[in-house]
């Protein structure tokens, strides 16, 4: 039997050249390349998970504006392994973003972007951008209320770009308004265009790794000199180099297996993100937000002053991208050790702190109305009938509670009105309700005089309680 398998293997190898295809696995690498170097392979593994789960989902998904939502409901609730596959695709995307981020941070801290690996860094930065674009377009394919409004917001942002804004907005929408062409366009981009580009850049990235070799761990006091580096690297490989497979790849296998198991467990136990209501652009009580890996940028756009929002929206991604791409151009030689480059450690730490802080702010999103605000309880209102009670009902029914807090209940977009009667007079309240204010619509045309009186009566009851020591 062993002889038969050997004969078949030799025949296949002679006709197909399998051993030639596997030859890059024997690539000689520095033996000191240890656990810090597993993130690149992990990113590739996460991408493979994405491709496999995406192909499986595509068998049931119908990219039609009238059927996409229903097919996702069917996949989630009725299709065999549908819920698991959606979870696998979602957590695979999250894993890919995390791994490529960790890989770039490690590459930056180790100075591995320096000569002769500048183009390896460039292709990696572009792959990061394509990965984020894949995540964003994938979220839109859920085609629920959040996805539909996210498309509208994306088109509105794109429309602010000078010269090509109108054309780009129509390209995103597939016309002048959101519709069937919008979903078909994003489906084509997510399933065909971006994966095809990424396959090409992944191949180029791997070729550059093979051509220039895996970067050795940095050593303090041993700077990169473009004149002598190649010779020094070759001498290092001759002295202590080991074949990547099987001598060094075992760490990648262990970490990659752990990553796959984590994705599978999350998909099986937690499952995919819940679908919102079916898409309906006429319903305004929506709170569109991106998935977690773009939530920090969502928070940044929400927090910046309105007068510069358009400039930041357009220039920030361009400047960030160009800055990252220019790193190996401006700093392609010299020390690689992080201990000799404290500014590199500071950049990574500050980036993590900034993104983490913005992510927390985006998760809380105090600038967004709380569309799930419940009516105030009897204890909070302090009345069960009369003008105060009627005003509390109107405060909820007219969506005032969506933006304003009353004793911790409601939204945070507008001022806290828990003790508003201590700040505004009766006339001030009437003027503000009737005429509106900053980010507050005018209610003069939608409220009857008796309703305004009831609202004011309720707000006038919102006073700070008198302490016993103040009564004496």
Show me where the domains of the chain are located: 25-364, 378-471
Alpha helices in 341-438 (DSSP H): 342-364, 378-381, 386-397, 426-435
Task: Identify the sign of the CA torsion 32, 34, 40, 41.
Answer: positive
Residue 219 clears pLDDT 60, i.e. is over it: yes
CB 237 within 8 A of CB 213: yes
Residue 156, sorted as left (phi over 0), alpha (psi -120 to 50) or beta, turns out to be: alpha
Tens digits of residue pLDDT in 104-117: 999 999 999 999 99
59-73, 237-251, 457-471: the lowest-pLDDT one: 457-471
Would 25-364 and 378-471 be classified into the same CATH topology? no
Would you place residue 468 in the very low, low, confident or very high pLDDT band (cuts 50, 70, 90)?
low
Q: Any bridge partners for residue 405, and if so which? A: 410
Q: Any bridge partners for residue 7, and if so which? A: none
- Top-confidence residue, 323 or 373: 323
At 150 the pLDDT is 84
Would you place residue 316 in the very low, low, confident or very high pLDDT band (cuts 50, 70, 90)?
confident
At 177 the pLDDT is 82
Residues 56-62 have a mean pLDDT of 94
DSSP string, 248-267: ITHHHHHHHHHHHHHHHHHH
Which range has the top average pLDDT, 156-165, 295-304, 310-319? 295-304
Residue 397 clears pLDDT 70, i.e. is over it: yes
38-52, 223-237, 309-323, 389-403: the lowest-pLDDT one: 309-323
At 103 the pLDDT is 97
Residues 180-207 have a mean pLDDT of 94
Q: Any bridge partners for residue 175, and if so which? A: none
pTM of the model: 0.83
25-364 fold: Cytochrome Bc1 Complex; Chain C (1.20.810)
Residue 472 clears pLDDT 70, i.e. is over it: no
Residue 458 clears pLDDT 90, i.e. is over it: yes
Q: Please state, rounded to an integer, the average pLDDT across all residues of the chain.
A: 89
Those residues with Cβ within 8 angstroms of residue 243's Cβ, 6 or more apart along the chain or in another chain = 25, 26, 27, 28, 29
Residue 469 clears pLDDT 70, i.e. is over it: no
Tens digits of residue pLDDT in 269-311: 999 998 888 887 666 666 778 899 999 988 888 888 767 777 7
Residues 41-70 have a mean pLDDT of 94
At 268 the pLDDT is 96
At 173 the pLDDT is 87
At 162 the pLDDT is 75
What percentage of the chain reaches a pLDDT higher than 70?
Answer: 96
**Which superfamily is assigned to 378-471 in CATH?**
Cytochrome c-like domain (1.10.760.10)
At 157 the pLDDT is 77
Cα distance between residue 275 and residue 77, in whole Å: 11
Q: Any bridge partners for residue 242, and if so which? A: 29
Number of helices (H) and strands (E), helices first, in the chain?
Answer: 20, 4
CB 135 within 8 A of CB 97: yes
Those residues with Cβ within 8 angstroms of residue 460's Cβ, 6 or more apart along the chain or in another chain = 421, 426, 429
């Amino acid at each position: 039997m062993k002889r038969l398998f050997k004969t078949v293997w030799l025949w296949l190898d002679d006709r197909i050249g399998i051993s030639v295809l596997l030859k890059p696995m024997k690539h000689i690498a520095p033996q000191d390349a240890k656990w810090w170097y597993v993130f690149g392979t992990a990113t590739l593994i996460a991408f493979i998970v994405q491709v496999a789960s995406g192909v499986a989902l595509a068998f049931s998904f119908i990219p039609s504006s009238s059927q996409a939502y229903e097919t996702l409901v069917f996949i989630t609730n009725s299709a065999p392994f549908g819920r698991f596959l959606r979870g696998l695709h979602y957590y695979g995307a999250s894993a890919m973003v995390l791994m490529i981020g960790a890989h770039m941070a490690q590459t930056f801290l180790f100075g591995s972007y320096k000569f002769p690996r500048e183009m390896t860094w460039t292709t990696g930065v572009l792959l990061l951008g394509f990965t984020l674009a894949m995540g964003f377009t994938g979220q839109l394919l859920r085609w629920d209320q959040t996805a539909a409004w996210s498309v509208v917001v994306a088109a509105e942002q794109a429309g602010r770009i000078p010269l090509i804004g109108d054309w780009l907005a129509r390209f995103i929408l597939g016309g002048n308004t959101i519709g069937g062409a919008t979903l078909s366009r994003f489906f084509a981009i997510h399933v065909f265009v971006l994966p095809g580009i990424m396959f090409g850049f992944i191949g180029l990235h791997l070729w550059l790794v093979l051509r220039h070799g895996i970067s050795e761990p940095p050593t303090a006091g041993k700077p990169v000199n473009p004149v002598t580096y190649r010779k020094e690297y070759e001498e290092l490989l001759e002295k202590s180099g080991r074949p990547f497979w099987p001598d060094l790849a075992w760490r990648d296998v262990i970490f990659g297996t752990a990553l796959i198991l984590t994705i599978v467990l999350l998909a099986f136990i937690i499952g995919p993100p819940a679908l919102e209501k079916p898409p309906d652009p006429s319903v305004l009580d929506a709170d569109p937000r991106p998935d977690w890996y773009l939530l920090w940028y969502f928070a940044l756009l929400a927090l910046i002053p309105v007068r510069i929002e358009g400039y930041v929206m357009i220039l920030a991604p361009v400047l960030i991208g160009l800055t990252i791409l220019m790193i190996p151009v401006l700093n392609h030689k010299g020390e690689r050790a992080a201990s000799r480059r404290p500014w590199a450690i500071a950049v990574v730490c500050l980036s993590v702190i900034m993104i983490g802080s913005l992510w927390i702010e985006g998760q809380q999103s105090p600038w967004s109305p709380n569309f799930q605000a419940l009516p105030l309880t009897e204890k909070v209102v302090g009345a069960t009938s009369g003008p105060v009670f009627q005003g509390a009902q109107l405060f909820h029914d007219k969506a005032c509670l969506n933006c304003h807090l009353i004793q911790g209940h409601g939204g945070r977009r507008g001022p806290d009105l828990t003790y508003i009667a201590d700040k505004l007079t009766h006339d001030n309240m009437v003027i503000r309700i009737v005429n509106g204010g900053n980010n507050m619509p005018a209610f003069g045309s939608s409220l009857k005089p008796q309703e305004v009186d009831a609202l004011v009566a309720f707000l006038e009851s919102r006073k700070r309680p008198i302490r016993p020591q103040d009564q004496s």
